[in-house]
Structure 1
Amino acid sequence: MTVLRCRGLRKVFGGQPILDRLDLTVAEHQVVALIGASGSGKSTLLRCVNLLEELDDGVIELDGEEISAPGVDPDRVRRRIGLVFQSYNLFPHLSVLDNVTLAPRQVHRRPRAEAEAQARELLDRVGLGAKAGAYPDRLSGGQQQRVAIVRALANRPRLLLLDEVTSALDPELVGEVLTMIRDLKSEGMTMVLATHEMTFARDVADQVCFLDGGRVLESGPPERLFGDPVQDRTRRFLARLRDAGRL
């Protein structure tokens, strides 16, 4: 089953196309990694899928429903899509538990007891059960990012979008977040992640998409795309990463 389908997406900022007739398909339980140089359109694509940016052209479908159509309620769509940013965006005046349960209680109208029980279960699963009463400034960066992911999961999303979720972390904290994403993959979560962690993309993704100039220039299984890319532009991008010791 296809969960996400993007057809001919176009987004222009200041006369410059950031997405240029981009196509993307994501199947159920699939993990798709978006790679490419800064400015290639990875973050803009995720923001458009979550309807935080308005398209200039193209169609986005979620489970066959055109969510980019005029008149679609973006809040209704976002209840089915989780988006985690590279900055944690936790509310500093709320505890971990209140950060995680805010949307389930206020948006989905779940009873507090039900929302808190689910939140505690999720926090326990990622080793943060003891931090439920803590405030964000008492957590490490890796812990805050795991809370941000748990907050997205608490809404029971159909699709999880992850935008460079390790880029703001110290190197020693990256591993704990990547372990959490591996666990989500093993549980069948459908995910699209923009990442500069090439080794992680190669290990966890079912499909890797190389974005260049606002398009998916090349895509394929990680072993094929990293091992034998077809496009010269992809080969040059990966060669630079190897020279820098990042692949």
Structure 2
Amino acid sequence: MNEVVLQLENVHKSFGGTEVLRGIDLTVHAHDVVALIGASGSGKSTLLRTVNLLERLDDGQIWLRGVDISTPTTKVDAVRARIGVVFQQFNLFPHLSVLDNVTIASRRVLGVNRTLAEQRAVELLDRVGLADKARDYPDRLSGGQQQRVAIVRAIATDPELLLLDEITSALDPMLVGEVLDLVRRLKADGTTIVMATHEMAFARDVADHVVFLDAGVIAEQGPPATMFTAPTTERAKEFLDRFLA
């Protein structure tokens, strides 16, 4: 069995009087793609934000490669340097070129020499067909190009784990495919990925493990072949029937 990269145990998170995560247990192995599916408000984004320590837990524990990162003494910046994150919105710095957007974390957080950081960035941009855009600014790019740059920025530091939060939801339907193709390539490269997505066909075809969240709990989980053909809970069946109709 592959090494466990991420483990959540009995994770709880509330906002005000609303409990958004209600006892999440999840294990993610190296090189696996785990797809989080479920209706809006089911807790997918909050779960990802707790893993990256953007939200502190109310209860439970999170381990990254066997180290508890949910303790109050955790050095948050050090943990985030090990995790790449891409959100729904591209969040590129508008005043920086594509090249500077991609290299800023390597240079400022990891202390990589600018020349080496830029060489790595250009190689990655070339792999996604954007090497010719390295000196452009984000406002000169299409939405799909901006999201591909955001993904390249997230992987430029060679993170141990990549979190993707509905990365196609802000894109024109014509641009979704090019971003999902990049995720397919990352999977082929062995990247460990946890992604929240509404792209059911993509989750079915690419994920190694599918997790259905419902009202803050994992109602059902399993391999795509099982989840998409024979879900065992009525809630999962209703949800998948709507998307796959």
Q: Same fold (TM over 0.5)?
A: yes
Whole-angstrom distance in 2 between the partners of 1:119 and 1:191 = 20
Secondary structure of the residue aligned to 1:228 is: coil
Cα distance in 1 between the residues matched to 2:244 and 2:164: 24
1:124-158 deviation per Cα after TM superposition (whole angstroms, max 9, x unaligned): 00000000000000000000000000000011100
Give yes or no for contact 2:99–2:118 (8 Å, CA) kept in 1.
Answer: yes
Unaligned stretches of 5+ in structure 2? none
Q: Could you tell me the TM-score, scaled by structure 2's length?
A: 0.98
Structure 1 length normalisation: TM-score? Answer: 0.97
Q: CA deviation at 1:242?
A: 3.1
Match of 2:54 among 52, 55, 67: 52
Equivalence for 1:106: 108
What are the superposed Cα offsets for residues 161-210 of structure 1, whole Å, 9 maximum, x if unpaired?
00000000000000000000000000000000000000000011000000
Number of equivalences: 243
Rounded Cα–Cα distance in structure 2 between residues aligned with 1:33 and 1:91: 28
| Mapped partners of 1:156, 1:51: distance in 2 | 19
Q: Is 1:159 matched with 2:161? A: yes
Find the residue that maps to 1:119 and give its secondary structure: helix
SS at 1:227 equivalent:
coil
**Residues in 2 aligned to 1:164 and 1:238: alpha-carbon distance in whole angstroms:** 17
Partner of 1:148: 150
* AA matched with 1:68: S
RMSD: 0.6
Long gaps (5+) in structure 1: none
1:168 aligns with 2:157: no
Alpha-carbon contact 2:200-2:244 (below 8 Å) kept = no
Taking the aligned partners of 1:222 and 1:169, their CA distance within structure 2 comes to 25
Displacement over 6 Å in runs of 4+: none
Give the secondary-structure state (helix, strand or coil) at the position aligned to 2:228: helix
User: What's 2:197 paired with?
Assistant: 195
Output the CA distance in 2 between the equivalents of 1:4 and 1:108. 22
Selected match of 2:242 from 217, 235, 240? 240
Letter in 1 for 2:29: A
AA aligned opposite 2:132: A
**Cα distance in 2 for residues equivalent to 1:111 and 1:28:** 29
**In 2, distance between residues paired with 1:241 and 1:62?**
33
